[in-house]
A and B are shown apart, each in its own frame.
Chain A
Amino acid sequence: MTASRSDLRLTGLTKRFSGFTAVDGLDLTISQGEFFALLGPSGCGKTTTLRMIAGLEEPTGGSIHLGDLDVTEKKPYQRPVNTVFQNYALFPHLSVFENVAFGLRRRGVKDVKKQALEALDLVELGHLAQRRPAQLSGGQQQRIALARAVVNRPQVLLLDEPLGALDLKLRRQMQIELKRIQTEVGITFVHVTHDQEEAMTMADRVAVMNHGKIEQLGAPAELYEAPGTTFVANFLGQSNLVAVTRSGTDGQYTMVDVGGQKLRIRTDRCSSEGELLLGVRPEKIRLHSAADPVPSGLNQLTGGVVLDASYLGVSTQYLVRMPWGQNLTVFAQNLGIGERFSDGSAVQLAWEPDHSFGLAGDAGAGVESTLED
Chain B
Amino acid sequence: MSRWLSKHALHIYGVLAFAYIFTPIAYVMVFSFNQPARSNLTWRGFTLENWTNPCGAPEVCSALGNSLKIGLASTLIATVLGTMVAFALARYRFRGRTPTNLLIFLPMATPEVVLAASLLTLFLNLRVPLGTATIVIAHVMFSISFVVVAVKARIASLDPRLEQAAQDLYANEFETFRRITLPLVAPGIAGAALLAFSLSFDDFIITNFVSGDVNTFPKFVYVSAQRGIPADAYVIGSAMFLLAMGLVLAAELFRWRRSRRL
Contact = CB atoms under 8 A, between A and B. Distances in A.
Interface residues of B, number: 18
A372 B168 CA distance: 32
A87 B180 contact: no
B161 A106 contact: no
Given A89-B162, A91-B162, A76 B183 contact: no
A190 to B, nearest CB: 14
B62 interface: no
A56 interface: yes
Contacts of B168: 54-56, 76-77, 81-83, 149
Contact of B169 (A82, A93, A130): A82
Contacts of B166: 91, 102
Interface in B160-191: 161-162, 164-172, 175, 179-180, 183-184
Contacts of B162: 89, 91-92
Contact of B170 (A77, A87, A130): A77
B169 A148 contact: yes
A152 interface: yes
B262 interface: yes
Given A89-B159, A93-B184, A132-B262, A56 B171 contact: no
A275 to B, nearest CB: 45
Given A56-B167, A85-B164, A89-B164, A75 B172 contact: yes
A272 interface: no
Contact of A106 (B159, B164, B171, B262): B171
B170 A106 contact: yes
A54 B161 CA distance: 13
Interface in A61-78: 75-77
A127 interface: no
A52 B81 CA distance: 35
A56 to B, nearest CB: 5
Q: Which size class do A's interface residues fall under? A: 20 to 34
Contacts of A135: 262
Interface string A105-135: 0110000000000000000000000111001
A103 interface: yes
B161 A87 contact: yes
Contacts of A90: 165
A218 B18 CA distance: 72
Contacts of A56: 164, 167-168
B175 A93 contact: no
Interface string A288-318: 0000000000000000000000000000000
Contacts of B262: 130-132, 135
B165 A106 contact: no
Contacts of B159: 89
Contacts of A82: 168-169
A75 B174 CA distance: 13
Given A131-B262, A132-B262, A135-B262, A89 B161 contact: yes
Nearest to A106: B170
B180 A91 contact: yes
A106 B183 contact: no
Contacts of A77: 167-172
A150 to B, nearest CB: 12
A271 B119 CA distance: 81
Given A93-B183, A93-B184, A135-B262, A85 B172 contact: no
Contacts of A102: 166, 169, 171, 179
A14 B178 CA distance: 33
B15 to A, nearest CB: 36
Given A92-B184, A93-B184, A85 B165 contact: yes
A54 B159 CA distance: 18
Nearest to B180: A91
Contacts of A91: 162, 165-166, 180
A181 to B, nearest CB: 18
A135 B260 CA distance: 12
Nearest to B172: A77
B243 to A, nearest CB: 28
A107 B165 CA distance: 15
Given A75-B172, A103-B170, A152-B170, A85 B184 contact: no
A69 to B, nearest CB: 16
Contacts of A131: 262
A147 to B, nearest CB: 12
Interface string A33-65: 000000000000000000000111000000000
A330 to B, nearest CB: 45
Contacts of A83: 165, 168
Contacts of B184: 92-93
Contacts of A152: 169-170
B94 to A, nearest CB: 18
Q: Which 9 A-B pairs have the closest CB atoms?
A: A103-B169, A106-B170, A89-B165, A89-B161, A76-B167, A77-B170, A83-B168, A106-B171, A102-B169
26 contacts: A55-B168, A56-B167, A75-B167, A76-B164, A76-B168, A77-B169, A81-B168, A83-B165, A83-B168, A89-B159, A89-B162, A91-B162, A92-B162, A93-B184, A102-B169, A102-B171, A102-B179, A103-B170, A106-B175, A107-B170, A135-B262, A148-B169, A149-B168, A149-B169, A152-B169, A152-B170
Given A77-B169, A77-B170, A89-B165, 12 more contacts: A54-B168, A82-B168, A83-B168, A85-B164, A91-B166, A92-B162, A93-B183, A93-B184, A106-B175, A131-B262, A149-B169, A152-B169
Interface of B: 159, 161-162, 164-172, 175, 179-180, 183-184, 262
